[in-house]
Structure 1
């Protein structure tokens, strides 16, 4: 079975057991490791993988072919995207410093960028000047080096941005949680509707349970795909992003997903979706 997900610690931790043939009855996986911008594009293509990790913001374009699985993704509290500036860029001036500026983002169809657009519409008078799409790992260096004025970052950047001499301008996850009293939906696991979705859901849940029960067994695999991160940062990353919602979205998770997509569609940022189609 072909699958695509990121090399980030949360994904490799979740799928370690399945990738390594440790889940009874589960088919072997042919894995593509790729940045979220690439996996979003793979899912939108004609010959996308059977199972793929995408941004929740990309769901409206793929729901006809793919189903949202109720597990394996990234959704939680205190884990949202950050808007960063260099310490010399006047970050203490608040969101207004972004007016007319160049901002790097990881994907035009990422949840991070969707949140940024919702936030900027309220907080940046006159609007952003230019959006620059960069691979995730290039964003903080670009802000540090003055190539862009600010950057929108996700995942482990929450723990590492001070080492680049950057300043936090806004925590979009905190803003979302305060505004909606819901966790923030970041990344989703989807599978082709033609497959046995209940079986795939079960295999992913067993892989998560295995990872939690035997975290030491996945360490080498996880670290091999996160070579620029210290073991301490990798551990913090996993503890933050692999949580109760990874095992089961539940009613709170589905409410969060619906709230994000409906709000974005109301503001003309995403197409309207059939919310019944979000559940399998």
Structure 2
């Protein structure tokens, strides 16, 4: 099976067991490691992959061909995207200072960007200026070096942004949780609808369980692919993004995804969810 997921610690941790043939009966994986912006595009515009890790925000464009698996994704609380700017920026005290500014984001079809647009509509009445798409690991250096005025960051940037001399404008995850009471729906695992979806879901769950049972076995693989090589940062990333929702979305997980995408559709930001969007798992 051809699969594409990010080199981030949560993805490599989750899929370590399956990639390394530790899941009995599971199909052999042919892995491509790619940034979320690329996997979002591949899911929408290509049939080259059997499984992909994508943003929850990209689901409306892919659910006719791919099914959302109830496991392997990234949802949670206290783990949302951050808007960062240089120290001393007026935007730290007054978000309206972002009006007309250049902002770097990791993908136009990411949950982070969707949350950002919903937040801007509420907090920056005149809107921001130019949106610049950058790989997520290039965003903080771009803000630090003055190439953009602010950056929307994800993943381990939550733990490392002070080292770049940056300050937080807002935590979009906290904003979302305060507004809805629901977890933040970040990443999703999808598989082609013409495959044995139940088997794939079972193998994915088994890989999560394997990683939790033998975390020491995953470390070399995780660190070999991580953008942040510090083992403590990688472990903090895993602790934050690999949780009960990674094993099973459950009622709250599906409700969070539905709430995000329905709210975004009402704002005209994404297509409306198709009928029975989460079939056959929900």
TM-score by length of structure 1 reads 0.98
Equivalent position of 2:100 in the other structure: 100
SS at match of 2:27: coil
Equivalent position of 1:194 in the other structure: 194
Equivalent position of 1:251 in the other structure: 251
- Please, what is the CA RMSD of the aligned residues? 0.9
1:128-163: CA deviation from partner (whole Å, max 9, x where unpaired) = 011111111110000000000000000100000000
Q: Residues of 1 paired with 2:229 and 2:161: CA distance? A: 12
Equivalent position of 1:231 in the other structure: 231
Asked if the contact 1:50–1:192 (Cα under 8 Å) also holds between the matched residues in 2, the reply is yes
Q: Residues of 2 paired with 1:103 and 1:275: CA distance? A: 35
2:29 aligned with 1:29, yes or no?
A: yes
Q: CA deviation at 1:227?
A: 5.1
Q: CA deviation at 1:26?
A: 0.3
Q: Residues of 2 paired with 1:167 and 1:59: CA distance? A: 31
SS at match of 2:59: helix
The residue correspondences of 1:80-95 to structure 2 (distance < 5 A) are 80-95=80-95
Q: CA deviation at 1:190?
A: 0.1
Q: Residues of 2 paired with 1:94 and 1:138: CA distance? A: 25
Q: Comparing 269-278 with 209-218, which one deviates more in the overlay?
A: 269-278
Equivalent position of 1:176 in the other structure: 176
Equivalent position of 2:216 in the other structure: 216
Q: Comparing 87-96 with 175-184, which one deviates more in the overlay?
A: 87-96
2:111 aligned with 1:111, yes or no?
A: yes
SS at match of 1:239: helix
SS at match of 1:187: strand
Gaps of 5+ in 1: none
Q: CA deviation at 1:46?
A: 2.9
2:254 aligned with 1:279, yes or no?
A: no
The residue correspondences of 1:117-136 to structure 2 (distance < 5 A) are 117-136=117-136
Equivalent position of 2:45 in the other structure: 45
Equivalent position of 1:71 in the other structure: 71
Asked if the contact 1:91–1:167 (Cα under 8 Å) also holds between the matched residues in 2, the reply is no
Compared CA separation, residues 239 and 24, structure 1 to 2 (3 A): same
Asked if the contact 2:6–2:53 (Cα under 8 Å) also holds between the matched residues in 1, the reply is yes
Q: Comparing 6-15 with 43-52, which one deviates more in the overlay?
A: 43-52
Q: CA deviation at 1:228?
A: 3.1
Q: CA deviation at 1:20?
A: 0.4
Q: Residues of 2 paired with 1:124 and 1:138: CA distance? A: 25
Q: Residues of 1 paired with 2:82 and 2:212: CA distance? A: 27
Q: Residues of 1 paired with 2:275 and 2:75: CA distance? A: 18
Q: Residues of 2 paired with 1:247 and 1:218: CA distance? A: 17
Q: CA deviation at 1:208?
A: 0.4
Gaps of 5+ in 2: none
Compared CA separation, residues 261 and 2, structure 1 to 2 (3 A): same
Equivalent position of 1:163 in the other structure: 163
Q: CA deviation at 1:277?
A: 1.9
Number of residue-to-residue matches in the alignment: 280
